Chain A
Amino acid sequence: MIMEDKPLLSVENLHVSFDTPKGVVDAVRGVSFQLGREKLGIVGESGSGKSQTGRAILGLLAARGHARATRVEFDGIDLLRADERTMRTIRGDRISMIMQDPKYSLNPVMTVGKQIEEAYLVHTQASKVQARERTLEMLEAVRIRNPRHVYHAYPHEVSGGMGQRIMIAMMMIPQPDIIIADEPTSALDVTVQLQVLAILDDMVTQNGMGLIFISHDLNLVASFCDRVLIMYDGQVMEVRDADDLQNAEHPYTRGLLSCLPQVGDSRDLAVLKRDPAWSAYQGAEVD
Chain B
Amino acid sequence: MSTQPAVINRAKGLRGWLLQDVPQSITQARVQRFYLAWLVFRRNPIAMTGFLIIATLVAMAIFAPWVTSSNGLEPHLRDRLQPASAAHWFGTDGLGRDIYDRIVWGSRITLYIVGLVGVIVVPVGLLVGTLAGYVGGAVDNVLMRITDIFLAFPRLILALALVAALGPGLENAVLAIALTTWSPYARIARAEALTIRNSEFIMAAKVQGASTGGILFRHVMPLCISSVIVRLTLDMAGIILTAAGLGFLGLGAQPPTPEWGAMISAGRQYLLDQWWIPTVPGIAIFVVSLGFNLLGDGLRDVLDPKSSE
Interface membership of A36, Cβ < 8 A? no
Interface membership of B27, Cβ < 8 A? no
List chain A residues, Cβ under 8 A from B208. Answer: none
List chain B residues, Cβ under 8 A from A234. Answer: 1-2
List chain A residues, Cβ under 8 A from B3. Answer: 233, 276, 279
A132 vs chain B, min Cβ distance (A) = 39
A40 vs chain B, min Cβ distance (A) = 22
- Chain A interface extent, by class: 10 to 19
Q: Which residues 10-63 of A sit at the B interface, judged by CB distance below 8 A?
A: 22, 25-27, 29, 46-49
Total of A-B residue pairs, C-beta within 8 Å: 18
A271 vs chain B, min Cβ distance (A) = 18
How long is the Cα–Cα vector from A235 to B4 in the complex, in angstroms? 16
How long is the Cα–Cα vector from A26 to B4 in the complex, in angstroms? 11
A41 vs chain B, min Cβ distance (A) = 20
A14 vs chain B, min Cβ distance (A) = 16
How long is the Cα–Cα vector from A279 to B1 in the complex, in angstroms? 10
How long is the Cα–Cα vector from A48 to B3 in the complex, in angstroms? 11
List chain A residues, Cβ under 8 A from B4. Answer: 22
A16 vs chain B, min Cβ distance (A) = 12
How long is the Cα–Cα vector from A49 to B4 in the complex, in angstroms? 15
A52 vs chain B, min Cβ distance (A) = 10
How long is the Cα–Cα vector from A276 to B4 in the complex, in angstroms? 12
Cβ proximity bits B1-32 to A, threshold 8 Å, 1 near / 0 not: 11110000000000000000000000000000
Q: Which residues 241-287 of A sit at the B interface, judged by CB distance below 8 A?
A: 276, 279
Of chain A, the residue at the smallest CB distance from B2 is A26
List chain A residues, Cβ under 8 A from B1. Answer: 25, 27, 46-49, 233-234
Of chain A, the residue at the smallest CB distance from B40 is A21
List chain B residues, Cβ under 8 A from A49. Answer: 1
Cβ proximity bits B122-143 to A, threshold 8 Å, 1 near / 0 not: 0000000000000000000000
B46 vs chain A, min Cβ distance (A) = 15
How long is the Cα–Cα vector from A29 to B1 in the complex, in angstroms? 10
List chain B residues, Cβ under 8 A from A46. Answer: 1
List chain B residues, Cβ under 8 A from A48. Answer: 1
How long is the Cα–Cα vector from A279 to B2 in the complex, in angstroms? 7
How long is the Cα–Cα vector from A233 to B4 in the complex, in angstroms? 12
List chain A residues, Cβ under 8 A from B2. Answer: 25-26, 29, 233-234, 279
How long is the Cα–Cα vector from A26 to B3 in the complex, in angstroms? 10
Of chain A, the residue at the smallest CB distance from B4 is A22
How long is the Cα–Cα vector from A126 to B41 in the complex, in angstroms? 55
List chain B residues, Cβ under 8 A from A233. Answer: 1-3
How long is the Cα–Cα vector from A275 to B211 in the complex, in angstroms? 53
Of chain B, the residue at the smallest CB distance from A281 is B2
Task: Give the one of B2, B3, B4 with max A CB within 10 A.
Answer: B2
Of chain B, the residue at the smallest CB distance from A18 is B1
How long is the Cα–Cα vector from A27 to B3 in the complex, in angstroms? 11
List chain B residues, Cβ under 8 A from A26. Answer: 2
How long is the Cα–Cα vector from A25 to B2 in the complex, in angstroms? 7
Of chain A, the residue at the smallest CB distance from B309 is A21
B231 vs chain A, min Cβ distance (A) = 26
List chain B residues, Cβ under 8 A from A22. Answer: 4
List chain B residues, Cβ under 8 A from A276. Answer: 3
How long is the Cα–Cα vector from A179 to B241 in the complex, in angstroms? 57
How long is the Cα–Cα vector from A94 to B277 in the complex, in angstroms? 69
A30 vs chain B, min Cβ distance (A) = 13
Of chain B, the residue at the smallest CB distance from A22 is B4
List chain B residues, Cβ under 8 A from A47. Answer: 1
How long is the Cα–Cα vector from A234 to B3 in the complex, in angstroms? 11
Cβ proximity bits A221-241 to B, threshold 8 Å, 1 near / 0 not: 000000000000110000000
How long is the Cα–Cα vector from A47 to B1 in the complex, in angstroms? 5
Of chain B, the residue at the smallest CB distance from A24 is B2
B116 vs chain A, min Cβ distance (A) = 39
B98 vs chain A, min Cβ distance (A) = 47
How long is the Cα–Cα vector from A48 to B2 in the complex, in angstroms? 9
A20 vs chain B, min Cβ distance (A) = 10
Cβ proximity bits B205-236 to A, threshold 8 Å, 1 near / 0 not: 00000000000000000000000000000000
B128 vs chain A, min Cβ distance (A) = 34
How long is the Cα–Cα vector from A25 to B1 in the complex, in angstroms? 7
Of chain A, the residue at the smallest CB distance from B1 is A47
How long is the Cα–Cα vector from A44 to B3 in the complex, in angstroms? 15
Of chain B, the residue at the smallest CB distance from A49 is B1
List chain B residues, Cβ under 8 A from A29. Answer: 2
Can you list 11 residue pairs at the A/B interface with Cβ under 8 Å? A22-B4, A25-B1, A25-B2, A26-B2, A29-B2, A48-B1, A49-B1, A233-B1, A234-B2, A276-B3, A279-B3
B residues whose Cβ falls under 8 Å from a Cβ of A: 1-4
Q: A47-B1, A279-B2 provided; 6 other pairs, C-beta below 8 A?
A: A25-B1, A29-B2, A46-B1, A49-B1, A234-B1, A276-B3
The 3 closest A-B pairs by CB, nearest first: A47-B1, A26-B2, A279-B3
